[in-house]
Amino acid sequence: MVIRALARRVYKLILAVTVLVLVVSGGIAFDIWRYAGASSPDKADAALVLGAAVIGSTPTPVLVERLRHARDLYRSRQVGHIVVTGGLSPEDDLTEAEASRNWLLAEGVPAEAILLEDKSRTTIENVAFARAVLAENRLASVLVVSDPLHMRRAVLIADRLGIAAQPSPTPTSRYQTWQTTLPFLAREVWFMGQYLVAGF
């Protein structure tokens, strides 16, 4: 009897924890999804482009769409500079930041308008390490450029680091279908929960 009672308690505890995790995860997912549609019309000192993968020395399609959006922000004079971020993966020839700079230069963005942060490997590092670049160049405000579902966590990180940041998601994200969107959303729910609980 004692064993059965204990088993029922354990079962109820597991069920309660599972329901709690599902409710919290659902709330985080809804918040990420809702925020993905926000795009600031305001001007800022710089576009802060979050890093994405490079193949050898070539930006992947995901990174290209982020850079394309940053280029358009610069051309429309919504920003005066572009800060590109991302370090070197062992299999690549250039850092994400260097590959991004080269792409922007080929698109006609002047070299003096492009600033590099080339040490980071994660979203938190993208933003944290870019803060020194912004301060060094006396840039006070940024439009964060990444894919829409990345916006909520990225802007939250920037806010917590004291950066005046507004969202500017790329309108040409490579994550358009349910097959690509749902895994991205699930990953962001996990990383957002981790960041809220542990701060990393």
CATH number, position 131: 3.40.50.620
Within a domain: 39: no
Within a domain: 112: yes
Within a domain: 120: yes
- For residue 19, the one-letter residue type is V
Within a domain: 188: yes
pLDDT at 7: 63
pLDDT at 198: 79
Do 83 and 46 contact (CB within 8 A), yes or no?
Answer: yes
Q: Which domain holds residue 82?
A: 44-198
Within a domain: 20: no
The pLDDT tens digits for 98-134 are 999 999 999 999 999 999 999 999 999 999 999 999 9
Express as a percent the part of the chain with pLDDT over 90.
64
Average pLDDT, the chain: 90
Task: Say how many domains are in the chain.
Answer: 1
Confidence grade of residue 169 (pLDDT, cut at 50, 70, 90): very high
Within a domain: 38: no
Confidence grade of residue 5 (pLDDT, cut at 50, 70, 90): low
Comparing 159 with 91, which gets the higher pLDDT? 159
Within a domain: 191: yes
pLDDT at 199: 74
pLDDT (mean) for 138-158 = 96
Do 85 and 98 contact (CB within 8 A), yes or no?
Answer: no
Kindly tell me the burial class for residue 139, based on how many C-beta atoms sit within 10 Å of its own C-beta (0-12, 13-18, 19 or more): buried
The pLDDT tens digits for 26-39 are 778 888 988 898 89
pLDDT at 156: 96
Q: Is the model's pLDDT at 41 over the cut of 80?
A: yes
d(CA 182, CA 165): 26
pLDDT at 26: 78
